Amino acid sequence: MSAAAGPAWFKVYAVYMVIGFVALMLSYFGTKERIIPTAEETDKVKYSDLVNELKRNRPLQILGLFFLIGFTFMFFGNTVWPFYLKYNIGHSEWIASVGLLGSILGIFVLGQLCLWVWQFDSFKYSPTLGYIGRFLQQWGLTSATGFMWALVPEVVTFGEFKSKKRVAGIINALMGLFFKIGLALGGIIPGYINAVYGFNGSLLAQTEEALFGINLSMIWAPIILAIIAGFVMSRYPLSDTDIDHINEKITAYSK
């Protein structure tokens, strides 16, 4: 990419920025709350509830850590994917489309398929393998994202059961915090990894060591983080039966 392309990128993203801002304003001013808390209910909610909720809500701690680790390794791929395609595979024409198609399918299909094509010589050292891998990666990551957010109402319900206050806003704010920290780490850490291995963006071709750094941040680091995230999520203490039982108790004392 030439230096002359810089202004074009800026103009394109400026258009996206304006469209996004307009959509945000339309959403903000066009949304009306159907359920508004009473003054008594509002007075019960304190800023200290944020810290207290995080301390006493074990499912919130587990899910929050899962959010942080999960979005960290998810964003690894977004950060390194263009470099991986350009330098390791040698084809950058499918940077967006392969991941986008996988994301769309991942919304509707849960679970991630295992890739068992390495034994075929036609796939080895081929851009096709990289495209398939990215497609399946986005498929699985999008499914995992839906899974994460689907558990937030359970955490809210558990918090209400423990504190007798339904602090959904506080819990969603905490989830957003973990989410944003994960995105930040996922954008920062790959840069340091590639710097350690001598990546130089001004070169047309990278050294073997730099290519290994890209592989490490694109493939192996996310795999390790995914395993850690899976272990963390295995500690999640709530089941469907637990939630049904908790809902029954909440309904009973709310009458």
Q: Are residues 58 and 94 in the same domain?
A: yes
Q: Are residues 214 and 240 in the same domain?
A: yes
pLDDT at 149 over 80: yes
3-class secondary structure, 199 = coil
Of residues 202 and 90, more confidently modeled: 202
Q: What is the structure's pLDDT at 111?
A: 42
pLDDT at 186 over 70: yes
Which of 82, 102, 122 is the last residue in one of the domains?
A: 102
Q: What is the structure's pLDDT at 22?
A: 95
Say how many CA atoms lie within 13 Å of 30 toward its Cβ.
Answer: 6
| Spatial contact of 135 and 98, defined as CB atoms under 8 Å apart | yes
Over residues 213-229, the mean pLDDT reads 86
Structural domain includes residue 66: yes
Over residues 53-80, the mean pLDDT reads 86
| Spatial contact of 128 and 147, defined as CB atoms under 8 Å apart | no
Q: Are residues 147 and 250 in the same domain?
A: yes
pLDDT at 244 over 80: yes
Q: How far apart are the first and last CA of the chain?
A: 66
Confidence class for position 112, pLDDT limits 50, 70, 90: very low
Q: How far apart are CA 68 and CA 51, in angstroms?
A: 17
Which of 102, 134, 169 is the last residue in one of the domains?
A: 102
| Spatial contact of 104 and 110, defined as CB atoms under 8 Å apart | no
Structural domain includes residue 36: no
Average pLDDT, the chain: 78
Q: What is the structure's pLDDT at 181?
A: 92
Q: Are residues 76 and 146 in the same domain?
A: no
Q: Are residues 52 and 162 in the same domain?
A: no
Which of 60, 78, 102 is the last residue in one of the domains?
A: 102
Q: Are residues 121 and 223 in the same domain?
A: yes
User: Could you give phi then psi for residue 124, rounded to 5 degrees?
Assistant: -65, 135
Over residues 100-129, the mean pLDDT reads 52
The C-alpha angle 102, 108, 112, rounded to 5 degrees, equals: 55
Q: What is the structure's pLDDT at 110?
A: 43
Q: How far apart are CA 36 and CA 45, in angstroms?
A: 14
Q: Are residues 162 and 53 in the same domain?
A: no
Domain that holds residue 68: 47-102
By mean pLDDT, which of 77-81, 89-93, 217-221 is the weakest?
Answer: 89-93
Structural domain includes residue 27: no
Q: Are residues 58 and 113 in the same domain?
A: no
Percent of the chain with pLDDT over 70: 71
Q: Are residues 242 and 127 in the same domain?
A: yes
Structural domain includes residue 20: no
Confidence class for position 119, pLDDT limits 50, 70, 90: low
Structural domain includes residue 19: no
- DSSP letter at 203 equals -
Structural domains of the chain, count: 2
Q: How far apart are CA 79 and CA 138, in angstroms?
A: 13
Q: Are residues 78 and 168 in the same domain?
A: no
Structural domain includes residue 21: no
Q: Are residues 108 and 93 in the same domain?
A: no
Structural domain includes residue 4: no
pLDDT at 197 over 80: yes
Q: Are residues 212 and 165 in the same domain?
A: yes
Kindly report the pTM of this predicted structure.
0.66
Structural domain includes residue 188: yes
